[in-house]
Structure 1
Amino acid sequence: MSGQNPFEHAEFSQTNPFEDANQIQADVPLHATNKSEVEQEYTSYTQYGDSSFQTSSTAPTPAEDPKLAAKAAELRRREEELAAREREIQAAQAEAERVRTQGKNNFPKLYPLIYMSIPAEIPKAHQSTVRFLYNIWLALLGTLALNFLACMLMLIAGLPNGGADLGVALGYCFTITASSFLLWYRPVYNAFMKEMSMYYYFYFIFNGFHIAFSFYMALGFTSTGSAGLINMISVFNGHHIFAGILCVFSTALWLVQGFGCLFFYRKVHQHYHQQGHTFDQAKAQVTSSAVRSQAVQNAAWSAATSGRV
């Protein structure tokens, strides 16, 4: 027999049957026809990969770059300045809107703190009532001033406890002036302007105290800061005519305060019932106002703390 393998074929003798043709095509480009071209492609590929890796590994990060950190800090500073300017603009716009709708502060005239205008804010049907109450409050200021002068003359006349009356009367000139405006005149003003039950109740409570206080001052007990009836009699018994006359006027003005406030107290109470206001409405309004005030305080606190940060 001849030594030739009958199963041998020329195609199989030149190739390895265990080689993967797809893997060979993936590793070697189709256009590479010789070894030198394959090596050239491989070399260029590895050089490109090495260079890109070295570039990315040696590039500084933004946190390490001082120029970028300085730019970031500058951007933050500008953002804070813009936010502060925006808040100022919003506050100015809110104030301009308030002035447009309400007007500039006009009360008190020497040092305006609030805006108050009966023709602009009070319904026409109730303007006369609110104006009378305002005149009663102005009369209270005159009563306090005259009462102080009368107590001063009582001290000069040598009336017992005249010094105590003068000191208390001077304190009334400041405390009663502010408290009467804030506790009963401003509430009844807001009540007619907004028709809210809670303002009516504030007026009823504190104006009730004021009515009782007016009649108490008209009596004129010693050492109470009042130039009322009892002290007036003592002054006339001491033949101090001028001081006695001032005590008469003081007593009369306190009675005007008491009866005048009592008359309008009844009138406001009638209007309160006609409008259908209730105590439950007043409680609900007080609760909602307290919640709203707390929310405003929390928002203001948050804005202040965020501004500091």
Structure 2
Amino acid sequence: MEPSQAFESYWWQKDPSVTEATANTRGGLEEFNPFEDTNKQQTPGSKTTPVAAPLPVKPQQQPAVMAPTSELPPAYTQSAAQPAVTEGAAELQRRQEELERKAAELTRREQQMRSAQYNTRENNWPPLPKWFPLQPCFFQDFAVDIPLEFQKVVKLGYYLWIAYWLVLFINLWMSLAYFAGIGGSGAGLCFGLAILFMVLHTPFSFVCWFRPLYKAFRSDSSFNFFLFFFIFFFQFMVTVVQAIGIDQFGTVGIINGLSMIGAGSKGDSNSGMVVGGLMLMIGIMFGIVAVLDLLYLFKVHALYRGTGASFSKAQEEFAKGVVTNPGVQTATRQAAASAVSGATTSMFSSGGGGAAAGNNRM
């Protein structure tokens, strides 16, 4: 070993700072026990190295999602700050509804016309069985033929006709009871006319005033409206007379009912008084029908004035109907052909006679 190296080795061994550092390091490594209690007092001169704590693990974040709720929203109430619907808006809404209703009605009529080109509507009134020798004469369907706003009015007229028929039917049987109870020519005449009116008034009233009413609202016909007004007013007057109860008019009512009650009271006949009371009830029923007829006449007239119909329009419809009627056209052609043939025959006959007279003179 060279002298310089020996000196350095000796110096490292004799230096107190180097000796202390090497001794502490050796002793700390030899005395370290990882399983020893951390609260145990360390030997003096030993030094521990702190262990760094592990970094905290951040929890995985989830996206924010609102949980659905099953609660219903509160009922809507108009607050004072919201403006109320003005009259102008209400009028516009009413007109819009009216236009939509008219558009639906036009669509329905167009569909009906298209279907009528391919399908022939079969008559369904009166509803008779197929084995019956007579068949239905008219087609009647309020939902198809009558506009929606007039269906209730037309049905009311139909029910009024049924009510009149029922009163005539009851009047027939009460006239029979009247004839059986009191006898005589007057009661017999009343019973005979009751049968006649039952047979004739029922179909005639349907054809003469209800069918014109039905066709008037179906096609907005002024002519049918005027025909209904005329005939229905006449029926109103007839119903009033029938309610009075005159034997010569074929109905039981107030007058002959009171006479029946008087005859029963004089003869001490309870049956006569009962029949007379029932006859009075029939007269009251005729009176109720007459009042309903008058009210219905006013109602239809009010609707007629609102449709824009007039007497001049009725005249135009009548003239157009007469001109386009196939029967009238056939009769006109036959009359014209007869006139032409007659004129031709007379012309040739007069010409032949003149030629014969000239030959005679020659």
Instruction: Establish whether TM, by shorter chain, passes 0.5.
Output: yes
- SS of the aligned residue for 1:116 comes to coil
Match of 2:176 in 1: 152
**Mapped partners of 1:99, 1:256: distance in 2:** 44
User: 1:275 is matched with which residue?
Assistant: 307
Give the match for residue 164 of structure 1: 189
Q: Which residue number in structure 1 is paired with residue 286 of structure 2?
A: 254
1:87-236 to structure 2, matched below 5 A, reads 98=116, 103-110=121-128, 111-160=135-184, 161-236=186-261
Write 1 or 2 for the structure with the bigger share of helix.
1
Same amino acid, percent of matched pairs: 24
| Letter matched to residue 121 of structure 1 | D
Can you list the C-alpha shifts for 1:137-172, whole angstroms capped at 9, x where unaligned? 011111111111111111101244111001111110
1:212 deviates by 0.4
Matched, 1:287 2:319: yes
Contact 2:182/2:260 (8 A) holds in 1: no
User: How far apart are residue 107 of structure 1 and its match?
Assistant: 0.4
Mapped to 2, the partners of 1:141 and 1:154 lie a distance apart of: 20
For residue 231 of structure 2, what is the amino acid of its counterpart? F
| Mapped contact 1:218–1:251 kept (Cα < 8 A) | yes
Give 2:127's aligned amino acid.
K
Relative contact order, CA 8 A, sep 6+: which one is greater?
A: 1
**Alpha-carbon distance between aligned partners in 2 of 1:102 and 1:189, rounded to the nearest angstrom:** 20
TM-score (norm 2): 0.54
TM-score calculated relative to the size of structure 1: 0.62
Distance 1:222 1:296 in 2: 43
- Give the 3-state SS of the residue equivalent to 2:182 in structure 1: coil
How far does residue 281 in structure 1 lie from its aligned partner after superposition? 0.8
- Structure 2: state its 5+ residue gaps: 1-114, 129-134, 265-271, 335-362
The offset of 1:102, in angstroms, is: 6.6
Distance in 1 (CA, whole Å) between partners of 2:139 and 2:322 is: 23
The one-letter amino acid paired with 1:212 is M
The alpha-carbon distance between structure 1 residues 248 and 101, as it changes in their structure 2 partners (threshold 3 A), is farther
Conserved 8 A contact 1:162-1:223 = no
The Cα shift of 1:253 comes to 2.0
Map 1:44-83 → 2, pairs under 5 A: none
| Equivalent residues, number | 207
Q: CA RMSD in A?
A: 2.3
Shift of 1:99: 9.0
> How far apart, CA to CA, are the structure 2 residues paired with 1:179 and 1:295?
22
The Cα shift of 1:241 comes to 3.4
Distance 1:259 1:268 in 2: 14
Kept in 2: contact 1:159–1:235 (CA 8 A): no
Give the secondary structure class of the aligned counterpart of 1:223. helix
- State whether residues 215 and 255 of structure 1, in contact with CA within 8 Å, keep that contact through their aligned partners in structure 2: yes
Residues 219 and 228, structure 1, Cα contact 8 Å, conserved in 2: yes
How far apart in 2 are the matches of 1:99 and 1:159?
A: 60
CA shift, 1:119, in A, is: 1.4
